[in-house]
């Protein structure tokens, strides 16, 4: 009779965490940052069909890095959660905090019970009537939740981007300045940056996915910025 293969729980958890981090680290980065009139989302994403940034509800949006099929499942679940809560109670009862708690439970259960953890990292953002009411929640693959302020960077170059944003970000930035700051840091730290002459490439509008939660818009605050509008926004 053969003995069953045994792995210590501590080693199993460590292996799962390392596996998830490697998967997330291979992804192109996403930046979420507050600006004077709302929250901006900027991602390196040349695909026009597969979105890393999406609307969840009236004042709430979602950004993610990692495996598309996994974070798309989470996005769809979040939309259903928000719709059901808004229908059963009131639209104002749908908050980013309740959505982040639901995501944390799902990610935590998958991490501890499933053979393979989700290779995802997500941000749930809610824009308020004032800048002080804005909320950013960052969720990692194991269900951990962090209440962030100002900006969040996710993906392969997150640490370097966060360090640069800490030096240059402030809450008085207007939208063009906020987007150009995010694009500058994404370009410097892009996974494919670094040309033979040593200069980092500049990401163009065709390689970016940009959206905002604009507190000055009527009920639905989410808006994608595409085409000529994005090109003009990137122009100095």
Residues 175-229: tens digit of each pLDDT: 999 999 999 999 988 744 444 444 567 889 999 999 999 999 998 999 999 999 9
What pTM did the predictor assign? 0.91
pLDDT tens, residue by residue, 28-56: 999 999 999 999 999 999 888 899 999 99
Topology (CATH) of 9-234: 3.60.20
Mean of pLDDT values over 157-180: 93
Tell whether the torsion through CA atoms of 126, 82, 106 and 191 is positive or negative: negative
Beta strands in 88-202 (DSSP E): 120-126, 135-139, 145-148, 151-154
**What does the alpha-carbon distance between residue 148 and residue 135 come to, in Å, rounded to a whole number?**
7
Residue 206's contacts (CB-CB under 8 Å, 6 or more residues apart) are 46
Whole-number pLDDT of residue 193: 44
On average, the pLDDT of the chain sits at 91
Domain ranges (residues) in the chain: 9-234
Whole-number pLDDT of residue 199: 55
> Cβ–Cβ contacts within 10 Å for residue 34, how many?
25
Strands of the sheet containing 30-35, edge to edge, are 151-154, 30-35, 38-44, 208-214, 222-225
**What does the alpha-carbon distance between residue 8 and residue 69 come to, in Å, rounded to a whole number?**
30
**What does the alpha-carbon distance between residue 34 and residue 174 come to, in Å, rounded to a whole number?**
9
**What does the alpha-carbon distance between residue 235 and residue 76 come to, in Å, rounded to a whole number?**
34
């Amino acid at each position: 009779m053969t003995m069953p293969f045994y792995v210590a729980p501590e080693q199993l958890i460590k292996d799962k965490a390392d596996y998830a981090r490697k998967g997330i680290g291979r992804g192109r980065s996403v930046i979420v940052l507050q600006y004077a009139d709302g929250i901006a989302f900027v991602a390196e994403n040349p695909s026009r069909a597969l979105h890393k940034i999406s609307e969840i509800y009236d004042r709430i949006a979602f950004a993610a890095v990692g495996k598309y099929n996994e974070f798309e499942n989470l996005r769809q679940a979040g939309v259903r959660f928000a719709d059901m809560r808004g229908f059963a109670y009131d639209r104002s009862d749908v908050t980013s905090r309740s959505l982040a708690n639901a995501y944390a439970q799902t990610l935590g259960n998958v991490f501890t019970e499933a053979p393979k953890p989700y290779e995802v990292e997500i941000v749930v953002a809610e824009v308020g009537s004032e800048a002080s009411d804005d909320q950013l929640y960052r969720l990692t693959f194991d269900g951990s939740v962090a209440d962030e302020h100002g900006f969040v960077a996710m993906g392969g170059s997150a640490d370097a981007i966060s360090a640069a944003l800490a030096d240059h970000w402030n809450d008085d930035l207007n939208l063009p300045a906020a987007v150009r700051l995010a694009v500058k840091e994404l370009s410097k730290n892009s996974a494919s940056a670094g040309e033979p002459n040593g200069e980092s490439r500049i990401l163009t509008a065709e390689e970016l996915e940009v959206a905002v939660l604009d507190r000055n818009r009527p009920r639905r605050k989410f808006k994608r910025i595409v085409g000529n509008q994005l090109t003009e926004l990137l122009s100095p």
